[in-house]
Structure 1
Amino acid sequence: MNWQSYLKNFKSYLTLERSLSENSIEAYLRDVQKLWEYLEIAGELDIQPETVTDKHIFNFFYYIGELGLEATSQARMLSGLKAFFKYLLLEDIIKNDPMALIVSPKIGRKLPATLSFPEIERMLDLIDLSTNEGTRNRAILEVLYSSGLRVSELVEMKLTECFFDIGFLRIIGKGDKVRLVPIGRDALHYTKIYLENIRNQQSIKPEAENHVFLNRRGNKLTRVMIFLIIKDLAAKAGVQKNISPHTFRHSFATHLIEGGADLRAVQEMLGHESITTTEIYTHLDREYLQQTIVDFHPRSRKR
């Protein structure tokens, strides 16, 4: 049997024998799907459920940890995989459980706090859009959350690298590696308002003429300034977490993965190298990445 057949039978088991809710069943199936996706990314195309080892499982959790999936989400995903391999044991499909030695706190890398979607919305709603700085800050946070940028990438965003007509940003990341990243609907909306109504009225320093986000003196923003903006909003929103601009990057990845987005698409948008394999990574087309944002990002869903 192939993975699809195993998933179909696993769904029947969860429905008939475990009597789980539809939401729980979908979550468990999604967890197994993510493991399957990872094995394809890692070049393990011949691995079937009965040949998965604890090493595959450990590498999978290391991978999603590097993508930004928070510890609590990793723990929940662990439960789904444990249920799947328990089912395979019950059916005599496997003799040894690859999950037996996998302990939740030991999996992956410890990550900074991740914001929930309501926390992010609370912070966004507290921004005073009647001020120039407030309009700019709303655009900044929307871009951080909708595109998963590093703070260094945000402060270096260039006007000539913004392709708003097709909904993409051209980002130069670590090691001067270039990637195209979709920009979300709300991020695009507030960025255009900032550019057309605020930035256009500023006196801009020559060295900052191509930078998107500027301070009140017409120079590019610093990383520290972005950090302070976020810290201040978090305090006003009552967010009791130690957060930074990178928290928005982790939240972007976590919310996409939890929503069902393809791991490869998330990896591509974050600009990560393939983590557990040296094989050349196959880049995904622009339309697929953009559709991933539309389908799975919380800020893109109809409200």
Structure 2
Amino acid sequence: MYIDYSRLCPAPMSDFLEYMLSIKGRSEKTVSEYFLDLRTFYRFMALRYKLCSESDEFNDIDINVITLDVLKKISIMDLHAFVGFIDRERNNSNRTKARKIACLRSFFKYLYSIVKLIPSNPAVDLETPKKNSRLPVALTLDESKSMLSSIKGSNEKRDYAIIILFLNCGLRLSELIGINIDKIKGDTLTVVGKGNKERTIYLNDICIKAIEDYLAVRPDAKPGHENALFISNRRTRFTQRGVQHMVEKYLAESGLSGMHYSPHKLRHTAATLMYQYGHVDIRTLQELLGHESVSTTQIYTHIDKKQLRDAVKINPLNDETT
């Protein structure tokens, strides 16, 4: 859904958000996060520069008081103060702080280098805190089989196809709900990943069979949703929340609720299973998951399409049948 940021925030913030969306190709979700991060920053600066009453509730502070003249005055010390604020007052993790700092860097780079509205870039030397390393949470092979066995009911074929695609191909949730029927060609399908970039997913035998079985019983979709692969009970494209609810239901039915699993954890599971059981090298796995390159040199590493197909085929769940 298109969001008119000019109604929610002043220029040049709104211009920056539109630039990130239309020129840089950032996803609507990412730009929405930029908006929330910058709104928090604007409110903090309104307090710091005494442009609002100290008695105002933080979430009620008017961000329109941050004009271009104010932005021109902001220094690295102001940015350090903001990082201290989100650390101590907002209890942000290092990972969240790093995201907000990245947002500020992009914003001030835009103001200074792209549209040339400020005399200097205060964020150019803003450091990023070290992210807390977190091991990805993933289901074991037995837990994955248990979850697949729990899928029953009137939407069994659809739900099974969704879970099997998560567990075998490592799709992102946004990629899965965005699958269109006309993008499935034999053992490949094309999805739109992060940054609105298209990438090719290679399907193993169990994925192909699961999709075929579902298409045989897939209900007719409402106008405007005919090309969507996965259809909800309302005969519209399945939503992210709908998939999340469905995943949570089968996790509970297989005794795995309360373990912080989610559709994204199923993506981690696919990667873990292929790495543990398929002896897939990290570069191939990176390509399969659609991650950005981990280093400049790896951009030039050639991954043969046969190697990608083979990596998906050796997922141990490819041997399971419905």
Amino acid across the alignment from 2:307: Y
Cα distance in 2, alignment partners of residues 108 and 256 from structure 1:
25
Residue equivalent to 1:245: 263
1:178 CA drift (Å) = 1.6
Amino acid across the alignment from 2:191: I
Aligned pair partner of 2:317 in 286, 291, 299: 299
1:1-303 matches, cutoff 5 A: 109-128=133-152, 131-163=153-185, 165=186, 167-196=187-216, 198-199=217-218, 202-240=219-257, 241-259=259-277, 260-277=279-296, 280-295=299-314, 297-301=315-319
Aligned-residue Cα RMSD (Å) equals 2.1
Partner-residue secondary structure (3-state), 1:181? strand
List structure 1 runs of 4+ shifted beyond 3 angstroms. 276-279
> Based on CA coordinates, which of the two structures has the bigger radius of gyration?
2
Partner-residue secondary structure (3-state), 2:168? helix
1:290 CA drift (Å) = 0.6
Cα distance in 2, alignment partners of residues 301 and 183 from structure 1:
13
Cα distance in 2, alignment partners of residues 287 and 280 from structure 1:
18
1:253 CA drift (Å) = 0.8
> Unaligned stretches of 5+ in structure 1?
1-105
Amino acid across the alignment from 1:120: S
Contact conserved, 1:268 with 1:283, CA < 8 A, in 2?
no
Distance 1:121 1:178, change over 3 A: same
Q: Which has the higher contact order (CA 8 A, sep 6+)?
A: 1
Cα distance in 2, alignment partners of residues 132 and 158 from structure 1:
22
Amino acid across the alignment from 1:251: T
Percent identity (aligned): 32
1:108 CA drift (Å) = 7.4
Amino acid across the alignment from 2:167: Y
Cα distance in 2, alignment partners of residues 133 and 266 from structure 1:
31
How high is the TM-score relative to the length of structure 1?
0.58
Deviations along 1:241-284, one digit per CA (max 9) or x if unpaired, are 11110011101111111121121111111001112337634452
Cα distance in 2, alignment partners of residues 287 and 175 from structure 1:
26
> Unaligned stretches of 5+ in structure 2?
1-129
Count residues in correspondence: 190
How high is the TM-score relative to the length of structure 2?
0.55
Contact conserved, 1:112 with 1:243, CA < 8 A, in 2?
no
